[in-house]
Structure 1
Amino acid sequence: MDEIAPAPGRPWRLGPRATRLFDVALASALVLASFPMSVLATGQNAWALGLSLLQTVPLYWRRSRPVTVFVAVAGASVLQAGTYDLPVWGQVAFPVALYSLARFGSATAGRIGLLVGLCGAAVASWVWTSAQFAAYPPGLDYIDYDMGLRDLSPYFFLITAIVLAAWALGSQARIRRAYEANLVAQGRQLAAEAEQRAVLAAAEERTRIAREMHDVVAHGLSVVIVQADGARYAAQKDPQVAVETLATVASVGRDALTEMRRLLGLLRGTEDPALAPQPRLEDIPSLVTADDRVDLHLPDPMPQVPDGVALTAYRLVQESLTNVRKHAGPQARATVRLAAGAGGLDVEVVDDGRGGANDGTGGLGLLGMRERVEVHDGTLEVGPAPGGGWAVRARIPT
């Protein structure tokens, strides 16, 4: 494409091919104009035409080699000042070269070019003004007139204004392009950071779901194993007890499967709204089966707490009871206490089993409990209970 279509709020710009064609057209126009302008201004002076070509031809490379082009044009201007005392057409190349230097070169190069242009304005003013007085015929009364500042000022200020305008336009274009490039770079950096945050958030979410799955699977399987063992022993003496126990096993299995489906739905990015909602404080009694030696001390009515706090308390009790079944021993008893205090919810699970001799809260279990409590800026204490056993105590701010 020759042109870049302007986006909303974005300035219109030429494309690479159109830019190159514009540079060639501009330089060609100035070079070709040197021939008629030299004839009209100087009466077919070959030297004036040569000076014009020396200053205009380098403009073909003004964008790719701005420093070299400016040096060539400035050198040709110096040669003109020393050998030819009249203005020539090729001097229009100097502001173009200075603009290109300030636009496509560095800031330092642009300032040096400005200084050279101001010096050139002073020299050109002197040379051209002196040439006018030297051209007067001898014998006239004003031949002895002393040239002063009033004679130099018009030339000097006009040339200085052209030099300053060329430098200012080029510098402003360079600054604006650098500003836009910086904005583009910042946009890309922000996009990369946003993508990285999204990746980290996804990894954190997968870790959270892994904790949830650990709690669900560990609790469900521990209950199923305990109930299955009880049903196996009870079947020999009382088949009705075995039937009830197997019903409990089926119920626990279905609940665990429902939660597993919900968590897998989260991993897939879609969750079936028909699946069970997040557990609440009212669901804590469902964690205790008929064969568990667990004493529940729950407030009545249950306190109204945020859903996240309720889920955290539920998972703490679930993980703690799972560890009691796995590590405390078959005869161990456990006590679960919930208390709503000022600004917080207290959760305590204490058993009288083997205690610290067989720590069942290591690995994902302990790490998951700590992460859940720390999310709410709460505190968690896990360790041997006085008199034996194991204790889990947590304070969750509400």
Structure 2
Amino acid sequence: MAAMLRGQQMILPCDESPEVLEALVQPGRTLCLVSDGADLAVSGNLPHLVFDSDELGVGEDVVGAPLVLDEGYWTRPDAVVLFTSGSTGAPRPQPKSLQQLFLRAQQTATAVLNADLERVVATVPLQHMYGLENGLLLPLVAGLCAVDYRPFYPADIAAVVTSRTLLVSTPDHLRYCVQSNQEFVAGRVLSATAPLSQELAAALEASCSCSLIEIYGSTENGVMATRKTASEAAWTLLQGLGLQREGERCWLVGGGQKQLLSDRIECLNDGRFLLQGRDQDLVKISGKRHSFSALTRLVQSIEGVEDAVVFTENDDYSRLCALVVSSVSVEQVRAGLRRKVDPVFLPRPLLRVERLPRNKVGKLPRSALLAALADARKVLRRGHKEE
């Protein structure tokens, strides 16, 4: 918001690691890192301004007059630069105009809000597309209170949400709430960043006595569609958006723009659609097909498995790997999976770890997965054999 008042470009990195921050420094680009007091390790190449919101004082007017933005700044195509999560490779910059962001926030508000909601609580950081759109911009355009607190543990979430709260969260966070048997009452829950199972959605709705809406979106395209996952599989596009198919490709159209989607889409006669996965999600081994996301869900469904991921460490997909967080042995997990899939899709190796390297929005950057796999192999070689 401070950058908007000054008409400056905002660059929102995918995380605060020194490597990521240093990579933003480029010849001819003048940058200043603004943070809220977090202990960030940055070099002298990047000036650092620590912003303490407490110095403003409670209830103090920061802007005395209504904010009026210059038209050129409002439509500047790179006024805000976000980054993809890196789950399929290196994070890629995604420039956005303020006009794009605020218009999509208005469309989302129409689709997900009801008259009883008064405030928004987000468990995700605001520098990511999902958090920025729904944790900050949505309450701004809808006149709701945005709570300046990001709860982490299920008990923290239960303490801050009420029947008039919109909770913006992720399947990872919501799963922990259900597993911990932490009940709370919310006005509505939004979920995104990873597929949400119908079972988890139904369990969440029962425990928090409210409806859950899943969001389909991406950093490249923003929020695109919604569904009530506990009761439906099909997605409904936001008002003003449409799909245009050209051969095997599908494009999102709206707001004078046309953007290619990376997902395979099945369009239904009633205007809704089904997701059939991403091309990058397909696994082809020995002439047979499966998907990483489906294999991951199968592993996660095995009794005793708390979290899991199936992926590949090479580009030809010839060898599947899996990391699992579980209270049962690797052999038990492997036996459970063998009953569910063709043997060619059994991950080798399948290794147990204490936790998966999820980032703050619950995603698994590929670089972090490969590092975790290497660490798990080192542990195995040191003689800490799996049960």
The TM-score with structure 2 as length reference comes to: 0.22
- Report which of the two has the higher share of helix: 1
Structure number with the bigger relative contact order (C-alpha 8 A, sep ≥ 6) is: 2
